């Protein structure tokens, strides 16, 4: 019964992540509100409260963070370079449609991303967002799901919830059709990161890879939108 309750909580946490993104971007139309709700309350708040509730906060943190391994770091960096190149190339193709760059810039500015904040956004999204997402999805959610189901199913379920809130963001920016395509790509990448977490248990390989992927997105925003 306790294990089933824990699994239901983890599934609830997955939906909470999407709801926080929806609330911040769609309801409040604010990146600041979104970052507070998603990063502070979900990515940090949920693991801390859950770990305290279980009585294993320190152990959970050590498990999520892990020990640095050079082989894993190289693997993460190599995959990250592919994601950086693929991401920037994909966004370049999407922005070739007439008026799309201006439309997306209008949406981002309505969310609060004006030019004075662009470099702060650059650093925050690349470093902080990638780290917190990896600690939450691969370091917290995935590591607990594997205790109650097969690793294959746990990776798919984690990747589903990880990609779900990307559907909200990509649909608002690119429309529903492209939003679904982007979400499927995010699901596939999340699955690879899940396997990488299995092979290299520390946060560093997936964090480095995720960091480069986010770097590609931010570079695209600066080059072709702002």
180-206 pLDDT, tens digit per residue, is 999 999 999 999 999 999 999 999 999
Tokens of 41: 């309350």
User: How high is the mean pLDDT in each 10-residue block of the chain (226 residues)?
Assistant: 72 95 97 97 93 80 85 97 97 92 96 94 96 96 90 95 97 96 98 96 96 96 93
Tokens of 225: 């939108």
State pTM to two decimals. 0.94
Rounded CA separation 189/117 (Å): 28
Q: What pLDDT does residue 1 have?
A: 54
Distant-in-sequence, close-in-space partners of 5: CB < 8 Å, separation ≥ 6: none
Q: What pLDDT does residue 193 have?
A: 98
Q: What pLDDT does residue 156 have?
A: 96
Nearest to residue 194, comparing CAs of 161, 226, 225, 154?
154
């Amino acid at each position: 019964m306790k294990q089933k309750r824990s699994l239901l909580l983890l599934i609830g946490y997955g939906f909470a992540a999407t709801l926080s993104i929806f609330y911040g971007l769609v309801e409040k139309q604010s990146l600041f509100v979104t970052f507070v709700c998603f990063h502070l309350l979900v990515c940090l708040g949920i693991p801390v409260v859950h770990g305290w509730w279980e009585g294993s906060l320190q152990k959970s943190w050590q498990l999520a963070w892990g020990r640095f391994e050079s082989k894993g770091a190289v693997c993460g960096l190599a995959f990250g370079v592919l994601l950086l190149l693929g991401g920037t190339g994909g966004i370049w193709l999407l922005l070739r449609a007439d008026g799309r760059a201006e439309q997306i810039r209008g949406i981002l500015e309505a969310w609060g991303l004006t030019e004075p904040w662009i470099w702060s956004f650059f650093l925050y999204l690349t470093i902080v967002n990638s780290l917190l997402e990896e600690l939450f999805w691969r370091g917290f959610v995935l590591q607990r799901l594997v205790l109650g189901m097969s690793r294959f199913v746990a990776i798919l379920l984690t990747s589903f919830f990880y990609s779900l809130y990307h559907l909200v963001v990509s649909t608002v920016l690119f429309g529903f059709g492209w939003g679904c395509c982007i979400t499927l790509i995010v699901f596939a990448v999340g699955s690879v990161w899940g396997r990488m977490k299995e092979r290299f248990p520390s946060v560093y390989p997936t964090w480095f890879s995720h960091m480069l992927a986010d770097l590609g997105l931010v570079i695209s925003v600066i080059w072709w939108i702002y």
